[in-house]
Structure formats: structure tokens, C-alpha cells
Structure 1
């Protein structure tokens, strides 16, 4: 293989690849259907022309066949009248029209076969066009769905699903940790308050005993204008001294 041929093949391959990449599938489908419909129009015109031609040939055949029959009757009449020369001329005319009608009959038969083939092709093309219309709509829908799926996948790839989910999990852990801290604070606050009340309840007896001891040692301050009642423990101490 020569260098020029290899370069030519490489150029054609690159050109075809570039054209394929630039093709819009939807536009290609629409154009393909338009081409088929144009072929259908041309085929219909060909069928119509073939039918018109066949009609003209059929008329010419009928005319020549009728003239051949008429000149045959004239030849018979000339024979009956005893004019053989006139009968020969009539038969000669009859032969000319007969040969023409025979040729036209052969042409008519050939055209009938061609017309039938054209009709079958037109019917087949109409079926293909109907099928192509259905396939075009279906392929367009599939193509759009594929493009949408591709765009979604590309968007997910750009976002980075794994990193996004990791961020959500991290934030969830932080929320759980914060909630645990808040619950612990509530529990600690409740325990502290209860402990304070327990301390108050536990020191009341100690205070009363301290007052009683001061009373015994004569260290109590003078009573106020409105003396407050002494605790029961203090009263019991005074009774014991008396």
C-alpha cells in the first residue's frame, strides 16, 4: 500500500469521524424521513406516469385492433363481390393494423408488469415510511431520555456524591454530640440543685445544736422585741438545766 493511499484513507476516516461527531441524531432522523417521503413522491409520480402511458398504449392497441378487424370484414366483402384485388388491398391494410396492435399488445403487457412492480414498491415504501415515523418518535424519546440520564450522571459526578455524603455524616455526628452535651448539662444542673437542697436539709440539725450550745454557754445575743420561738432542741436544753 502506497503512502498516498494510506494518507488518503486516514483523511477519509478522520473526515467521517468528524462528520459523525457533528451529526445531531434528531436532525438525521428527520432528514432520513424527509428523504423517504421525497422518494415516495417521486415513486408516485412514476406510477402515475406509467399508468398514463399504459392508458395511451391501451387506447392505441384497441384502435389498431378494431381497424384490423374492420379491414378484415372489408376484405371479406370484396371477396363476396368478386373483387380479389380489392380484397388483397384490404387484407394488406388489415395486416398493417394487426402488426401494430400485436406490437402494442406486447408493449402493453410489459408496461403492466412494470406498473405492478412500481405499485408494489410504492406500497412497500409507504409501509416503511409509516414504520419510520413510529421509530423516529420512539428513537427521539429514547435519545432524550439517554441525554437526560447522562446529564444527571455528569452532574452527580461533578458534585462528588461520596464527599457530600461524608459531609452529611460529619454534620450528623456533630449534631448528635451537641445534643448529648445539652442533655448532660441538663442532668448536671438537676443534680446540683438537688444536692444543694440536700445540704440545706442536712445542716439544719447542726445549726440547731450550735444554738443550743451557745445558749448553755451564755453566748446568745439578747432577745429581740418580737422574739422568735426557739427550736425544740434548744427548749429541751433549757429544761434540762432547770
Structure 2
């Protein structure tokens, strides 16, 4: 977990400050998580092997107890056969003693298997505790990684905005506005110039007619003629 020793040194420093340093916190965290997951896989495999041994020794314990009981029953049967003179007493005693020896050996082996099984089960419990702790640590750092990525994005966006803002000084903004104002004034003056040119190109008749409305005078003359005709009649 050496990589996480470096992560702990970073602490709660700002993401952009860490990025400007020699180590990238995101890559470091990703690498650390990968290493922990590899360790988790190895731990789970090891625990499974130990648990298998514990189960095996537990089954052997039960089998040895049955074996010892079986030898006990055989010894009793041999003694009975000797009493009933089904076999010679010396032979029944010899075989019964051997059966009892085998019984005692099975009992001792059963005790050893039971002790080993209990020890292995305790080891499994300890390994399970470590695995649970490792899982919790992985989940924690995966959450830290999401937060770290978000902080990096925010810091980069803030840096870009601040950089653009520093490039927009007040002098350049005022200069840009003055240029826009001059351009608008130039366009307005150009429009006035075209209007004056249009007025200057009118003919003399158009200028006279603009001053004197000849249509109105003609209508007045025609009206006088009509009145004279009615008076003549």
C-alpha cells in the first residue's frame, strides 16, 4: 500500500494544487485501488483455502470419532466371543487389545483434528474481518476518487475562466466599444450622405412641383370654366 502513503501526504489539498505537483492524485488513487483489489482477490482465495482445510479437518474429526466407536464395539465383540469360547481366550484378548489401541489412536487423532479445525476456523474469522475492512477501504477510496475527479474538473474549469478573464482587461474593452461607436456613427453619416445625393439629383420641374401644387391650380381653373358655362345659359 505504498501508493496510499503518498495519498495520505496529499491530505485535503486542493486538486489543482496537487496536479501542479509531481504526482497526479487521480492516477495515484486509481493505482492504489487496483492494488487493493488485487490484494482483496488474493485474500479471498487464501481464506477459501483455509476454510476448506477447516471443513476437511472437521469432517475428519467426525470420521475419527466414528472410527473409535467402531473399534470399541469390535473390542467388546471379541471379548464376548472369547467368553463364549467361540475363539480362544488368548486370541480374543489379543485382538481386543489391538482394537482398543486402535480406538485410543482414533480418539487422539480426533482430538487433534478438532483442535486444528477450531484453530483454522478462528483464522478464517480473522481473515474475514480483514477482508471486510479491505472492502470498506476500497469503497471509501472509490468514493474519494469520484470526489477527486469532480474537484479536478471544477478547478480546471475555474482556471480556464480565470485565464480568459485576465485576458480581457478594461482598456481593450473600452477600445472595442469606441471602435463600435465610430462604426455606427460612420454608417449614420453615410446614410445621410445618400439622402442628400438623392435630393440633389431632382430636376427643376420636380423642385417647382414640389413647391407649387399644379394639380390644385388646374382643378381650380376647370371649376371656373364650369361656373361660367352655367352662368351663360
Q: With the length of structure 1 as denominator, give the TM-score of the two structures.
A: 0.56
Aligned-partner Cα distance in 1 for 2:93–2:204:
160
Which runs of 5 or more structure 1 residues have no equivalent in the other structure? 1-15, 202-242
Alignment partners' CA distance in 2, 1:124 and 1:49: 20
Report which stretch shifted further, 153-162 or 24-33.
153-162
Unpaired runs of 5+ residues, structure 2, are: 1-8, 11-17, 84-88, 209-233
2-structure distance, mates of 1:152, 1:160: 13
Deviations 1:158-207 (A, max 9, x none): 4225444323311221112212322343455566667x959x96xxxxxx
| Matches of 1:55 and 1:158, distance apart in 2 | 71
Aligned mates of 1:110, 1:131 — CA distance in 2 = 32
Provide the C-alpha distance between the structure 1 equivalents of 2:63 and 2:170, rounded to a whole number of angstroms: 90
Counterpart residue number, 2:231 = none
Matched, 1:178 2:163: no
- What residue in structure 1 maps to residue 218 of structure 2? none
Selected match of 1:109 from 102, 113, 118 = 118
2:165 matched residue in structure 1: 157
**Mean Cα displacement is larger for which, 115-124 or 170-179?**
115-124
Aligned twin of 2:72: 72
Between the aligned partners of 2:191 and 2:171, the Cα distance in structure 1 is: 30
Distance in 2, matches of 1:187 and 1:120, equals 93
Task: Give the match's secondary structure for 1:176.
Answer: helix
Paired with 2:142 and 2:72, the residues of 1 have a C-alpha distance of 59
Deviates more, 1:139-148 or 1:156-165: 139-148
The count of residues paired between Structure 1 and Structure 2 equals 181
Q: What CA deviation, in whole Å up to 9, does each residue of 1:139-176 have, x standing for no partner?
A: 57525533541442243034225444323311221112
Quick one: distance in 2 between partners of 1:53 and 1:110?
Answer: 10
